Amino acid sequence: MSKQEIYAWTSLLSSIAILGFYGITVYGLPESLSGIESDLTSLFVKVFLFAFVVELAIGLFKSKDQVEKDERDNLIAGKGFRNAYYFLNAGLILLISQIALGQFVENAGIAFTLPNIMHMLVGALFFASIINRATQIYFYQRM
Amino acid sequence: MGSHNISNNIKSLRFHNGEMTQAELAEKVDATRQTINAIEAAKYSPSLELALKIADTFDVPIGDVFWLEK
């Protein structure tokens, strides 16, 4: 496994952990799952710390002779960013159209307050990061 | 990508050049060992620049390293 592939895995894990932690902190869990909320929060923190330590270790023990990134890594990174960009675009268009719908259709049942929109945008950013890294991992396995 | 119709004989060339390892070849052409492995397995088609560097390392024409499958 190349260093870039390990970075893709650790980044995927930390993005999932941050998104999970953020989601629980902002929205909480449904009533039926409230018993495992602290366990889940602790799990996300541990996953994030694990990913952080792995990235730190790789950064510290890098060899000066070895090539860290080449054209294949750049190509795969490009595919990841492309998919993340598509997702982010689609998410933003959806969000804007939902806001417009809430504005013009009465009783649409949608409450888009400023904090809510902020949370959705932050969530969309982390989702885009997850899609980016997942795409990279997929292509590292394939080519 | 068209990666499935480009074949190569890098493995054989490495063997006939002092049993060079993938890591050694990677270092000579400024690539990662994983990229050399992917090229050998015909999973990834290298850029013209990398292909030329590989051919240059073995001191053979590029056509002796890579060719299109018919």
Indicate yes or no: CB of B1 within 8 angstroms of CB of A5: no
Using an 8 Å CB-CB cutoff, list chain A residues near B32: 2, 4, 66-70, 72-73
pLDDT at residue A113, as a whole number:
79
The list of chain A residues with pLDDT below 70 reads 63-65, 105-111
Which H or E element spans position A24? helix A3-27
pLDDT at residue A109, as a whole number:
60
User: What ipTM was estimated for this complex?
Assistant: 0.83
Indicate yes or no: CB of B35 within 8 angstroms of CB of A71: yes
pLDDT at residue B67, as a whole number:
93
Indicate yes or no: CB of A72 within 8 angstroms of CB of B33: no
* The pair of three-digit structure tokens given for residue A16, joined into one six-digit string: 């999932």
Q: Which residue has the tokens 């989702």?
A: A127
pLDDT at residue A90, as a whole number:
94
Q: Which fold has domain B3-58?
A: 434 Repressor (Amino-terminal Domain) (1.10.260)
| Amino acid residing at B53 | K
Using an 8 Å CB-CB cutoff, list chain B residues near A2: 32-34
pLDDT at residue A28, as a whole number:
82
Distance CA A23, CA A45 (A): 13
Per-residue pLDDT for B2 more than 50? no
Give domain limits for chain B.
Answer: 3-58
